[in-house]
Amino acid sequence: MRLLVTGAAGMLGHDVVAAAEVAGHDVTALARRDLDITDAAAVRAALGSAAAESVVNCAAWTDVDGAETAEEAATAVNGEGAGIVAGEARDAGVHLVHVSSDYVFDGRARAPYVESDPTSPLSAYGRSKLAGERAVDPERAAIVRAAWLFGVNGPNFVATMLRLASERDEVTVVDDQIGCPTYTGHLAWALVSLAERRTTGILHATAPTRCSWYEFAREIFLRAGVECAVRRGRSADLGRPAPRPAFSVLGTEHVADAPRLPSWQEGLTAYLETTRVIR
Round to whole Å and give the CA distance between 208 and 211.
10
Give the chain as a DSSP string.
-EEEEESTTSHHHHHHHHHHHHTT-EEEEE-TTT--TT-HHHHHHHHHHHT-SEEEE------TTGGGT-HHHHHIIIIIIHHHHHHHHHHHT-EEEEEEEGGGS-S--SS-B-TTSPP---SHHHHHHHHHHHHS-TTTEEEEEE-SEE-TTS--HHHHHHHHHHH-SEEEEESS-EE--EEHHHHHHHHHHHHHHT--EEEE---S--EEHHHHHHHHHHHHT---EEEEE-GGGT--SS---SB--B--S-TTTS--PPPHHHHHHHHHHHTT---
What is the number of alpha carbons within 13 Å of residue 36 lying toward its C-beta?
6
Residue 113 annotated as catalytic:
no
Q: Which of 103, 113, 125, 183 is catalytic?
A: 125
Q: What amino acid is encoded at 29 in this protein?
A: A
Supply the residues annotated as catalytic: 125
